[in-house]
């Protein structure tokens, strides 16, 4: 929680009397003018129709239209005909996407892909094509189950008949796509994490649920003397072995289940965007396994973004709903993390910011 203000409007000032003869100035917060009905209606329509934009972007990426434009097609006919699409309808899609910065429309029905739109191509350095596809497939479909989810249960399981990670295991192609999306979404966080923490203090780091291995790859590149172990389910290990997250020289690959046990003896255990996929009981099981495996002076580094306990803006409140629908997990406030760690025999040491707004480093140690 934020501390009480100590300036002129805070409790400390309220207990002080102004010197004799000095005019007391009241702190008055200006009232916001009431929004007119027309503005409210416009705002509500923008909120309600945002779904249209998301799905239009997903279709643009999924059908390879961004790739076609990157290859030189610059009008609806050139994009539509080779793909068996209706030219007029492709034109209308492009025209709509021009309003949100994906393409620009010039004279004579000519369209140009913008730098933002180029992120939807397959070969862009920071491509988000797979993310655009998956967020408008099952990741979008689960939101239609929000009504029922508020009564209990997990929306993804209602949609697909089994938990997410079981489904990905049973559908290897979808598992590979999921790993690609993780690379796309979390790539920009990785340099910020490596820059914000001194990983050189550790001789051995185990990345729990490390998936494609991107973070471990970046840590070892910055600190070649560090020995790394990537620990995950088999499909995560397979993604790392394919090089999905970058080179992993000298890394040990261990397939296993964090709910059963964790390799022993590391100086640091990394949990990157893993705890938020699970409810408190499951998180406590994982953390207790790590507590049993760690050395007395080991560190657990939870790489998540804590949810503010005030009205500070941030994406965590929406991501919280998404993981609730997808896996039954949750984003957590700092007090919620502290309680979680205590139940697993751990203690929250500190929370370090990074240069990326979507991730912090929550450092945890063994409780006495």
How confident is the model at residue 6, as a pLDDT? Answer: 37
Of 15-24, 172-181, 230-239, the one with minimum mean pLDDT is: 15-24
Residue 96: φ, ψ to 5°: -65, -40
To the nearest whole number, what is the mean pLDDT of the chain?
A: 91
pLDDT(7) > 80 = no
CA distance 354 to 34: 38
Give the per-residue pLDDT at 195. 97
48-127 is a CATH 1.10.10.10 domain: yes
Which one of 276, 297, 322, 356 is the catalytic residue? 276
- How confident is the model at residue 364, as a pLDDT? 98
Give the model's pLDDT for residue 245. Answer: 87
Residue entry with tokens 């049993």: 292
CATH topology of domain 185-366: Rossmann fold (3.40.50)
Q: How far is CA 64 from the centre of its chain?
A: 25
User: How many angstroms separate the CA atoms of 238 and 254, rounded?
Assistant: 10
Encoded tokens for 144: 């239609």
Structural domain boundaries of the chain?
A: 48-127, 138-181, 185-366
> Helices 234-241 and 172-186: crossing angle, nearest 10°?
60
Q: How far apart are the first and last CA of the chain?
A: 26
Q: What is the pLDDT of residues 190-243, one digit of tens each?
A: 999 999 999 999 999 999 999 889 999 999 999 999 999 999 988 889 889 988
- How large is the average pLDDT for residues 98-117? 97
Task: At 261, list the tokens.
Answer: 């046990």
Q: What is the mean pLDDT of residues 328-346?
A: 97
Q: Please check the confidence at residue 3 and state whether its pLDDT lies above 70.
A: no
- Cβ atoms 180, 335 nearer than 8 A: no
Q: Is the pLDDT confidence value at 146 over 60?
A: yes
Mind listing the pLDDT tens digit for each residue in 256-281?
Answer: 999 999 999 999 999 999 999 999 99
Half-sphere CA count of 187, side-chain side, radius 13 A: 14
Please confirm, yes or no, whether 276 is among the known catalytic residues: yes
Q: Average pLDDT, stretch 144-168?
A: 96
Kindly report, residue by residue over 53-106, the tens digit of the pLDDT: 999 999 999 999 999 999 999 999 999 999 999 999 999 999 999 999 999 999
* Separation CA 61–CA 63 (nearest Å): 6
């Amino acid at each position: 929680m934020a501390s009480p203000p100590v300036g002129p409007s805070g409790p400390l000032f309220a207990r002080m009397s102004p010197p004799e003869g000095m005019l007391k100035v009241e702190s008055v917060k200006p009232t916001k003018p009431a929004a007119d009905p027309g503005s409210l209606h416009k705002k509500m329509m923008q909120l309600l129709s945002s779904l249209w934009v998301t799905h239009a972007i997903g279709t643009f990426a999924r059908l390879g239209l961004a790739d076609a434009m990157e290859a030189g097609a610059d009008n609806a006919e050139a994009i539509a005909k080779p793909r068996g699409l209706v030219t007029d309808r492709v034109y209308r899609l492009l025209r709509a996407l021009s309003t949100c910065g994906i393409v620009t429309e010039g004279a004579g029905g000519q369209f140009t892909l913008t730098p933002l739109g180029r992120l939807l191509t397959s070969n862009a350095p920071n491509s988000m094509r797979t993310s655009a596809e998956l967020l408008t497939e099952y990741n979008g479909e689960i939101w239609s189950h929000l009504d029922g989810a508020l009564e209990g249960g997990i929306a993804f399981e209602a949609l697909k008949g089994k938990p997410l990670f079981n489904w990905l295991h049973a559908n290897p192609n979808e598992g590979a796509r999921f790993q690609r999306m993780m690379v796309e979404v979390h790539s920009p966080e990785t340099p910020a994490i490596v820059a914000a923490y001194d990983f050189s203090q550790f001789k051995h780091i185990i990345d729990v649920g490390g998936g494609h291995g991107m973070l471990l790859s970046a840590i070892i590149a910055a600190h070649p003397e560090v020995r790394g172990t990537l620990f995950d389910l088999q499909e995560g290990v397979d993604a790392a072995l394919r090089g999905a997250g970058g080179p992993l020289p000298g890394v040990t690959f261990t397939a296993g289940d964090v709910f059963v046990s964790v390799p022993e003896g590391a100086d640091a255990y990394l949990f990157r965007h893993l705890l938020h996929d699970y409810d408190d009981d499951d998180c406590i099981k994982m953390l207790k396994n790590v507590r049993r495996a760690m050395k007395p002076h080991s560190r657990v580094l939870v790489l998540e973004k804590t949810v503010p306990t005030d009205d500070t803006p941030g994406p965590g409140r929406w991501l919280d709903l998404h993981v609730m629908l997808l896996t039954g997990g949750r984003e957590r406030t700092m007090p919620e993390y502290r309680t979680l760690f205590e139940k697993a025999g751990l203690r929250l040491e500190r929370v370090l910011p990074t240069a990326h707004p979507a991730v912090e480093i929550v450092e945890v140690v063994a409780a006495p």
